[in-house]
Every structure is written in structure tokens, then in C-alpha cells.
Amino acid sequence: MRWLVLLTIFTLLTPALTLLAASDAHASDSNYYVFFYPKADCRELSFPSGNERRDWKYFHRNLERYVDCMQKYLRNAENDIERIKEKAQEALQGYERFMNQAKRERERY
């Protein structure tokens, strides 16, 4: 029963927590979504089948959009990796503080 209550609370709070994380003072763009990490949503291109100048101009215009989209996705992914590293480091520091305090308390008795 306790797990059901916790799961319900987590489910209800997740969108709010995501918004708070996104509004963090040093937050940058992100790809992260609440329950999954998305694939790149960049439209892949097909090369023109002929040598028509118009087709190649169209291809190059869309190629620029594709490259920009992929670069943005990869830049955001790097931002997400840095956030995860920061949170993992914070968790490790908290764990180490707790374990050091537990060791001192144990030695006291």
C-alpha cells in the first residue's frame, strides 16, 4: 500500500519536478523527457536522383536544416550528460558525508 501511495505521488509530481529542473538557474537546453530519452527528431534526407540544379538546391537547403537539427540534438545531449554527472557527484558527496558521520558515530560507542 505504501508503494502505491509513493508511486501515485511520484507520478503526480514528476511533471512539476521536470519543470523545476528545467528552470534551474544554470539549466540549459535539454532533450530529456519525463519517462524516456528521445531519439533525434531530425528528418533524414534522400539524395536527388538526377542532376537537376533545382533538386540539388532543395537538397542543400534541407541539408542545412538537418545538420542544424542534429547539432542541436547532440549539444542538448551533452548538456544532459553534464547534468547527470553533476547530480551523480552530489549524490556521491552526500553518501560519503553520511558514511563518514556513521563511522564517527560508531567509533563513539
Confidence of residue 29 (pLDDT cuts 50, 70, 90): confident
Nearest alpha carbon to residue 87 among 19, 79, 35: 79
Q: Look at residue 4 in the predicted model and tell me its pLDDT.
A: 47
Q: Is the pLDDT of residue 19 over 60?
A: no
The Cα 86–Cα 97 span in angstroms is 17
- Model confidence over 46-86: pLDDT tens digits? 898 888 899 899 999 999 999 999 999 999 999 999 999 99
- What is residue 64's three-state secondary structure? helix
The Cα 17–Cα 29 span in angstroms is 16
- Model confidence over 30-48: pLDDT tens digits? 766 667 788 889 988 889 8
The Cα 67–Cα 99 span in angstroms is 48
The Cα 64–Cα 70 span in angstroms is 10
Tally Cβ neighbours within 10 Å of residue 76. 17
Average pLDDT over residues 78-104: 93
